[in-house]
A and B are shown apart, each in its own frame.
Chain A
Amino acid sequence: MRPFTYQAPADAASAVRAVTRDPTAVFLGGGTNLVDHLKLGILDPGLVVDVTGLASVEITDLGGGALRVGAGVPNSDLAADPLVRERFPVLSQALLAGASGQLRNMATTGGNPLQRTRCVYFQDVTTPCNKREPGSGCSAIGGWTRNHAILGASAHCIATHPSDLAVALAALDAEVRVLGQDGERVIPFTDLHRLPGDHPEHDTVLGHGDLITAIDLPARPIARRSAYRKVRDRASYAFALVSVAAAVEVDGGVVRDARIAFGGVAHKPWRAYRAEEALRGATAADDSYRAAADAELADAVAQDGLDGGNAFKIPLLRRTLVATLRDLAREDA
């Protein structure tokens, strides 16, 4: 392993300054992804700036049903928080569907959405990868694509974003509070991550030195009836083949409103606006849910590859969405 300098600044502004002025610097939160990258040779930082001592570990009730979650709140604490469980059950369920108890104890609210893809070619420095080494090519295309995208991929990258938490945050209209060298700004969570396009090396819109300080959850009464459904290749401790975060409001057998996001299928947590639109005013029945899924998946593209590629993810996601909505509507009745 290469030596690096370690700093633990006293406040967020100092941390941002330290990282901003050193292009080889990285922030260290829970370290559950960063340390893997150091071992695998994906990252070679000259400076590691530890923000665990300065990040907020508070969950604050902002009133009216809204919450502010400090970036340092461990995933396990966020999942267990009574207000989160009451107002945003989808968030708690998503967290508990991810990783393991030990990892959730370490991983932070600010760090989790910034974890990088688990594409096996990204994680293997002996294979070309445009995300790791821009311009070197995408080894996943035509390779093992089981965990790869069916929505929003580009000719340069077909990776998926691995976070479960991020899928729930995308569905909940969360907002990200970011401290940069020019001060604080707020980014809608759905704008935090980007599609790969020509620049898969950028997972998010954050600049070098930008630090997430908190994530705000606006009041969303609809989220009290919400759920996270994760489908994976084993019962625990695996990334999603597909996942669905959904909240539905049903009244008199009609869907009044819906919030839906998908995981495991795109370079970013995929907010399913078209499905939501199709559902508003529709009868709360399987046919409507299928129509909503079809609306969202009209542009889905399967990847060829080893073991038959990932074409199965399109029907799997459709079926998972239908089942999730059916269960939620049943609950709501």
Chain B
Amino acid sequence: MTAIGTDLARRDGTVKVTGTATYAYEAPVERPAYAHPVQATIARGRIRDIEIEDAETLDGVLTVLTPDNAERLADTDDKELAVLQSDEVAFRGQLVGVVVAETSEVAREAAGLVRVTYDEAEHDAELATERGSYVPEQLNAGYPTESAQGDVDAAMASAETTIERTYTTAMYHNNPLEPHTTTALWDGDSLTLWDSTQGVHPLRSTIAPIFGLDEERVRVICPYVGGGFGSKGTAHANVTLATLAARAVPGRPVRLALTRQQMFSLAGYRTPTIQRMRLAADADGRLSAIAIDVVEQTSRIKEYAEQTGTPTRIMYAAENRSVTHRLVPLDVPVPSWMRAPGDCPGMFGPEVAMDELAERLGVDPIELRIRNEPSVDPDTGKPFSSRNLVACLLAGADRFDWADRDLRPGVRRSGDWLVGTGVAASTYPVHRMPASTAVIRREAGRYVVEIGAADLGTGTWTTLPQIAADALDVPVSDVEVRIGDTRYPMASVAGGSSGMTTWGSAVVEAARAFRDKFGQDPADGDEADGSVGPADEDHAMHAFGAQFVEAHVHADTGELRVPRLLGVFAAGRIINPRTARSQFIGGMTMGLSMALHEHSVLDPRTGHVVNHDLAEYHVSVNADVTDVEATWIDEHDPYVNAMGSKGIGEIGIVGTAAAVSNAVWHATGVRVRDLPITLDKVLAALP
């Protein structure tokens, strides 16, 4: 029996549930001081004056830093990270100061005593299609901004059926349970950062040049992360601030934990998107054109271009195709990664539009998707390394009793509730980062694998040993893995669902090198390393899935409930069914939350998110999440990597919101094209 595919409990489970796992804020340091930020209360303008005397003279305050007295950073190219370097304010909530004190309470009180006056300028914080926009050079992850094949306008003009609709997704905040936290310790010109991060090495590469340091002088440690969902994938301003604060109090380590409210302006978010969809089809539903035009926001100080249109490039066959993106620069915090950037918002419009086309034609929405299944990647013309969307749709249909489904909307009732079902497809690309190295060493009769990888609750502590065990052909209990420290070989970010492909490939290479060098009977201290190789260039590589939703809408009040959610995924070989299931249902739950609840309310008058806590920024609670089931089909893909696995951290959130919207339509006859789906949007159509 191989270790891969075995249902193993998490190796880090016990220390987490017993509270002994040390997180970044709990790093074992002597005499820590505590930092508390001061944030701008205008959305655009200049600081006229900062009075810090009241704060400085408060008992227990060690120092107060502002743009007037903070050290000049060596590299200020990244305007998000160049904190306290200028008197310009580019968004409300921007860092304009920091207090360092003996306790977090004193630091917080003193931060409230810092008086900042501004010369306020007019700001614009409201996304709309008519705002001035531009075409970015490229999208996040390097995707091209625009792509076109054929003539969509001509196909729309001559088609038997067309759908042309605009869909919107809201602004979302990642909101991991553990806030963004750092403990920073300077020792001369050497820096140690305990930081809640999705990648110790990428964080080091970002922070070292800002402080003019060689990377060797910086150590980043992060064994455990209390969730990140992308918001800890890149360094945010809080890391620079903590590091800056620590340098100002020599000999003292400094701890900084953002409050929940501060996370809403400093830790990234998903841009709202406006998606204009066009579909052209013949009477049988075969698409002749598919097009998406995306408008979304970025900040003025740093560009972030969500790749919202990318899934439309690969999902369905159609001769005429077009994808465009435009960015509206606003006086807002910097958008960033959030679980399945691009694919998550970008499968809302298209997958509801497909349901609208199915409705128009009177065709079953699964059958419609099957009729438009491409034989090769319609974007590149390359063959898929594996593509089992249809198998997922059919397997899900079987489990969901889809065959008996009445296509008509608004005709089913269970007591006071209107009942409907809906389906949507999921997809996520197989990403491989260019560099990561693992070392394997024989220690005390065991095999120790070291790599600077991260476990955000995703299962890395448990799954990397499984990969190593099979590659070494030993029992998994003989393998120990060490991760989350820049002392170990360089590893890429836990992002883009690339972790297992990238780090796993490095581990397999290291195991091969180890066996080649030392054979089956190595001595203590024998060690070898291996690095991830280049990705296959000849295939289009994506995971696929299908999500099924049963939605209930209260006939009197419009209250929405989703009593059943089923996901069927085709994601290559599953390394560990237990941690995989957790990833899938976690993603689907977050997708449900996006469908019904999540919505950062940015007040354009002030430029800040006004529902900036978990009481008012609603995420689905247990009572909303009833029956969530995830399963997968057996998929063999020899091209993706040595394990045959595809990333699974993000696909679960892709398509869920569309499936919910489609089910709400089936229940009520109301198409909700603007997320979140709230009761006020269906109220007028209720009996």
Contacts and interface: CB of A to CB of B under 8 A. Distances in A.
Interface of A: 1-2, 41, 118, 120-121, 123-124, 126-127, 139, 142-144, 231, 233-238, 241, 306-308, 312, 315-316, 319-320, 322-323
10 closest Cβ pairs, A-B complex: A312-B680, A235-B623, A236-B623, A323-B556, A120-B610, A1-B105, A235-B624, A126-B41, A231-B557, A144-B601
B623 A306 contact: no
A2 B112 CA distance: 10
A143 B596 contact: no
Given A118-B615, A308-B680, A315-B683, A234 B556 contact: no
B642 interface: no
Given A236-B623, A316-B680, A316-B683, A2 B109 contact: yes
A322 B557 CA distance: 10
Contacts of A316: 557-558, 679-680, 683
Chain A binding surface, main DSSP class: loop
28 contacts: A2-B109, A120-B610, A121-B610, A123-B613, A127-B606, A139-B603, A139-B605, A142-B605, A144-B611, A233-B678, A233-B679, A234-B621, A234-B623, A235-B623, A236-B622, A236-B624, A237-B623, A306-B601, A308-B680, A312-B680, A315-B684, A316-B680, A316-B683, A319-B556, A319-B686, A320-B556, A323-B416, A323-B556
B671 to A, nearest CB: 17
Contacts of A237: 621, 623
B620 interface: yes
Name which of A1, A126, A139, A235 has the most chain B CB atoms within 10 A of its CB.
A235
Interface string B546-557: 000000000011
B616 A234 contact: no
Interface of B: 41, 105, 108-109, 112, 416, 556-559, 561, 596-597, 601, 603-606, 608, 610-613, 615-616, 618, 620-624, 678-680, 683-684, 686
Nearest to B104: A1
Given A143-B610, A316-B679, A234 B557 contact: no
B557 A236 contact: no
B623 A120 contact: no
Contacts of A306: 601, 603-604
Contacts of B601: 120, 144, 306-307
A109 B561 CA distance: 31
A181 B601 CA distance: 45
A143 B680 contact: no
Contacts of A323: 416, 556-557
B376 to A, nearest CB: 43
Nearest to B681: A312
Contacts of A124: 610, 612
Contacts, number: 82
A143 B597 contact: no
Nearest to B618: A234
A233 B608 CA distance: 22
Contacts of A144: 601, 603, 610-611
B683 A235 contact: no
A2 B624 CA distance: 38
Given A231-B559, A238-B618, A316-B558, 12 more contacts: A41-B112, A120-B601, A126-B41, A139-B603, A234-B623, A234-B624, A241-B679, A306-B601, A306-B603, A312-B679, A316-B683, A319-B683
Contact of B556 (A118, A139, A142, A322): A322
A234 B605 contact: no
Nearest to B604: A306
Contacts of A235: 561, 621, 623-624
Contact of A320 (B109, B557, B613): B557
B557 A319 contact: yes
B616 A118 contact: yes
Contacts of B612: 120, 124
A312 B683 contact: yes
B559 A236 contact: no
A139 B608 CA distance: 13
A1 B105 CA distance: 5
A322 B680 CA distance: 17
B87 to A, nearest CB: 19
Contacts of B610: 120-121, 124, 127, 143-144
Nearest to A140: B610
B109 A234 contact: no
Contacts of B608: 126
B538 to A, nearest CB: 47
Nearest to B40: A126
Contacts of A41: 112
B605 to A, nearest CB: 7
Contacts of A236: 621-624
A139 B607 CA distance: 13
A41 to B, nearest CB: 6
B558 to A, nearest CB: 7
A163 to B, nearest CB: 15
Contacts of A118: 615-616
B562 to A, nearest CB: 10
B173 to A, nearest CB: 15
Contact of A233 (B606, B613, B618): B618
Contacts of A322: 556
B112 A234 contact: no
B550 to A, nearest CB: 15
A233 B683 CA distance: 13
Contacts of B680: 308, 312, 316
Contacts of A319: 556-557, 683, 686
A231 B561 CA distance: 12
Nearest to A1: B105
Contact of B605 (A120, A143, A241, A320): A143
Contacts of A308: 680
Contacts of A307: 601
A100 to B, nearest CB: 9
A239 to B, nearest CB: 8
Nearest to B105: A1
A1 B111 CA distance: 10
A182 B601 CA distance: 47
Contacts of B112: 41
A7 B416 CA distance: 52
A143 B615 CA distance: 18
Nearest to B676: A233
B560 to A, nearest CB: 9
A315 B558 CA distance: 11
Contacts of B684: 315
Contacts of B604: 306
B139 to A, nearest CB: 28
Contacts of B108: 1
B126 to A, nearest CB: 10
Nearest to A41: B112
